Structure 1
Amino acid sequence: MQTESNPSVLARWNSLPPAEAAESILPCCGSHAWAEALTTHRPIPDPVQLLHLSDQIWQSLPPEAWQQAFDSHPRLGERHAKAATATSLTWSSQEQSKAEPTEALRAANARYEARYGRIFLLCANGRTAPEILSALESRIHNDPETEWRESGEQQRQITQLRLKRWLGGT
């Protein structure tokens, strides 16, 4: 997703009190630890640095912070989540706009959750339900450690997409 950044978004965010800044950026990832850590690095001079820092912080977080981010997403093909902000739910809906829920996707989601104990996470922006189902069916055979890392990479991609959207002010 190519989004022109709005310099005033980052400048305004840099000037917010820490708690407000963390709350403002939270919908981009869903992990409070990520949002708070990113906030401590302010002022962040430009979008490139923000995206780079986001990746560094994400990779350094403990598993419970990753799980909190995962929990902020609805199941693919659905519109509600275990724990999410209104903004992140709106973004999820936009990202999944081509993924109409199907019985096959619901069933595959259920199998995935039974196997791994969490929802299937995929950067679904622009993907159709059949494309999502194909990715899910492929990944359900991963061992738990490999799938944890893949879910983390998908969350990183979603966060990057959302940060760009956030920077654009949309």
Structure 2
Amino acid sequence: MPDTLTGFNARPPAEARAALLACCASPAFAGKVAALRPYDDLDRLLDTAGAAVRELDWEEVLEALRAHPRIGERAGGSDREASWSRQEQSGVTDELRAALAEGNRAYEERFGHVYLICATGLSGERMLARLRERLGNDERREREVVRAELAAIARLRLTKLLKEEEGA
């Protein structure tokens, strides 16, 4: 992985920020993670990314959430982020889409933003169960959960980004 990390560290700042936006669609996140280069190892980069998400103010979190499709909906487009989103939600069957659509509506009505979950490796049933559990959270608790999910997604996508660069 050192060659990939070396390549990421060597990117011009604007290129690094653009690549990071596919990991978390917050310019504040992308700017911070890019500005703190170079990274000595992958763990340091991933830890920095997680911390950068947790430091976002709520408006910046909402900005990042707007880039995420609803769970159960297929992301359109051919860009890196849309492709990753389709992979991450591959555990959703057609039968669950209606239940997830209903749950998404209830969640968005309650919290005012898209339901976000790190979907990789989760079945559609598990995502729906988590959605229903989270509907019981108060606003403060749900914001903590959203930040944790956003950080997990950013870390996962950053790892994918480096692996793609390794294969390039």
Shared fold, TM over 0.5: yes
* 1:135 has 2:130 as partner: yes
- Whole-Å separation in 1 of the counterparts to 2:150 and 2:78: 16
Structure 2 unaligned regions, length at least 5: none
* C-alpha distance in 1 between matches for 2:98 and 2:127: 13
Question: Partner of 2:83 in structure 1?
Answer: 90
Regions of 4+ moved over 6 Å: none
- How high is the sequence identity, in percent, across the aligned residues? 34
Following the alignment from structure 2 to structure 1, what is the Cα–Cα distance between the partners of residues 30 and 119?
A: 22
Mapping for residues 7-156 of structure 1, pairs under 5 Å: 7-80=2-75, 86-101=79-94, 102-156=97-151
Deviations 1:29-52 (A, max 9, x none): 111110111111111121111011
Instruction: Report the number of matched residues.
Output: 163
Shift of 1:125: 0.7
| Residues in 1 aligned to 2:22 and 2:163: alpha-carbon distance in whole angstroms | 14
Tell me how far apart the structure 2 counterparts of residues 151 and 85 of structure 1 sit (CA, whole Å). Answer: 26
Q: Is the contact made by 1:72 and 1:85 (CA closer than 8 Å) also made in structure 2?
A: no
Q: Shift of the alpha carbon at 1:85?
A: 8.3
With structure 2 as the length reference, what TM-score do the two structures score? 0.90
**Aligned CA-pair RMSD:** 1.7
How far apart are 1:100 and its partner, in Å? 2.6
Shift of 1:9: 2.4
Q: Which runs of 5+ in 1 are unaligned?
A: 1-5
Offset of residue 93 of structure 1: 0.5
Match of 1:3 in 2: none
SS at match of 2:22: helix
Query: Under a length normalisation based on structure 1, what TM-score does the superposition of the two structures give?
Result: 0.89
Q: For the residues of structure 2 that align with 1:112 and 1:95, how far apart are their CA atoms?
A: 20
TM-aligned CA deviation for residue 72 of structure 1: 1.5
**Secondary structure in structure 2 of the residue aligned to 1:28:** coil
Q: Which amino acid aligns with 1:88?
A: E
**2-structure distance, mates of 1:79, 1:8:** 33
The separation in 1 between residues aligned to 2:31 and 2:148, in whole angstroms, is 20
